[in-house]
């Protein structure tokens, strides 16, 4: 009687979480919540940041706390040493905003290591890097999960890619792509200085620690690049015209002095609000891509405009295509917050595991 041949069992995929800030912490909390619901998840093997990498040993909370309190040791980025120990089929979760980590996305994919990311510096900077990531994912078995990079997991990238794969032609994409700026212009009504609204947003965790990153439009530029490339438009960053809200005097200050100088925003924004109201319009910070080019900046929109109906941190994106010609496809939902971003990361992890 001949022996039955059985395929070799593949080792179970493991997770390495890079980043222990608000998104990384929310990722660990949601991971544990999903475990309690008996979802099949890879083991959370390591939690790491720029200072230290710690094996979790079934206690991710403890590892997370230790990593957050750790002091920096040595010059070599910790993530490279730790990820170097991974096997084919393991999953790196990038919850950082690190250039050094984003530079390794394509090499990891080429090694057969899946990458799930909220870091926009992979697909949202140089076109050559985005093309390397796409080529590495297409050439092998490793997948690239980037739903958390735009819209905190709203089905934006998935929808655009599905349209393109189905033969549709995307003519224009326009949207309120920053949850922090959406909140600011929903909140700002002239009853208090704009700088006070910025301080409120910072306390609520909607802005970056240096709010100039949000106010400059750079974050929106990166998101528009990611959406454009998903639509098949090989756009470079310098092809997007950006109208920053940050006055030159404020932009020149060191980060430590920004808080005391936020009042430099007040007069210009009060004037923009007054002009918009005089015409019955609403201020929205919008990124737009169409046949004429790409731009990011503050626009005064009529109340009935497709992008003027959101509230709070809502992202609201209109996709114009052959299929959606008379009326655009509208996608709306919360576009800021560590919890929704962490949920998007874990959605991509589960998609990889369950494919």
In angstroms, rounded to a whole number, what is the distance separating the alpha carbons of residues 227 and 120?
11
How far is residue 131 from each of residues 14, 134, 193, measured CA to CA in Å?
27, 5, 43
| β-bridge pairing 293-301 and 314-321 | unpaired
In angstroms, rounded to a whole number, what is the distance separating the alpha carbons of residues 178 and 186?
12
Contacts of residue 34, defined as CB under 8 A and 6 or more positions apart, other chains included, come to: 41, 346
Name the token pair of 290: 């169409």
In angstroms, rounded to a whole number, what is the distance separating the alpha carbons of residues 70 and 53?
10
| β-bridge pairing 91-94 and 14-18 | parallel
Catalytic residue list contains 223: yes
Residues 113, 83: contact at Cβ < 8 Å? Answer: yes
**Residue labelled with tokens 């096997």:** 87
Name the token pair of 337: 């917050």
From the candidates 120, 223, 241, 282, give the one annotated as an active-site residue.
Answer: 223
In angstroms, rounded to a whole number, what is the distance separating the alpha carbons of residues 175 and 288?
7
Among 242, 200, 202, smallest CA distance to 218 is for 242
Looking at the annotation, which residues are catalytic? Answer: 223
């Amino acid at each position: 009687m001949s022996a039955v041949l059985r395929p070799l069992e593949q080792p179970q995929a493991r997770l390495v979480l890079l980043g222990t800030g608000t998104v990384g912490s929310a990722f660990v909390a949601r991971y544990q919540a999903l475990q309690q619901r008996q979802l099949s998840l890879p083991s959370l093997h390591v939690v790491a940041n720029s200072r230290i990498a710690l094996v979790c040993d079934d206690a991710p909370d403890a590892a997370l706390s230790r990593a957050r309190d750790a002091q920096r040791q040595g010059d070599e980025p910790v993530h490279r040493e730790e990820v170097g120990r991974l096997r084919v089929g393991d999953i790196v979760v990038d919850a950082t905003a690190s250039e050094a980590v984003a530079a390794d996305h394509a090499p990891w994919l080429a090694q057969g290591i899946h990458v799930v990311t909220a870091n926009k510096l992979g697909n949202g900077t140089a076109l050559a890097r985005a093309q390397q990531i796409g080529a590495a994912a297409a050439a092998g078995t490793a997948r690239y999960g980037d739903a958390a990079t735009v819209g905190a997991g709203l089905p934006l990238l998935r929808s655009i890619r599905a349209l393109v794969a189905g033969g549709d032609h995307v003519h224009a994409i326009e949207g309120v792509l920053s949850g922090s700026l959406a909140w600011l212009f929903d909140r700002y009504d002239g009853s208090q200085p704009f700088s006070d609204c910025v301080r409120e947003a910072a306390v609520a965790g909607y802005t970056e620690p240096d709010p100039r990153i949000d106010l400059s439009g750079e974050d929106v530029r990166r998101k528009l690049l990611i959406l454009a490339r998903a639509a098949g438009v090989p756009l470079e960053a310098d092809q997007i015209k950006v109208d920053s809200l940050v006055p030159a005097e404020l932009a020149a200050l060191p980060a430590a002095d920004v808080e005391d100088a936020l009042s430099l925003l007040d007069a210009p924004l009060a004037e923009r609000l007054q002009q918009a109201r005089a015409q019955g319009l609403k201020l929205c910070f919008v990124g737009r891509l169409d046949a004429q080019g790409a731009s990011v900046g503050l626009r005064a929109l009529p109340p009935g405009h497709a992008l003027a109906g959101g509230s709070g941190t809502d992202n609201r994106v209109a996709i114009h295509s052959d299929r959606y010609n008379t009326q655009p496809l509208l996608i709306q939902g919360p576009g800021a917050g560590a919890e929704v971003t962490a949920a998007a990361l874990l959605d991509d992890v589960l998609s990889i595991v369950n494919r």
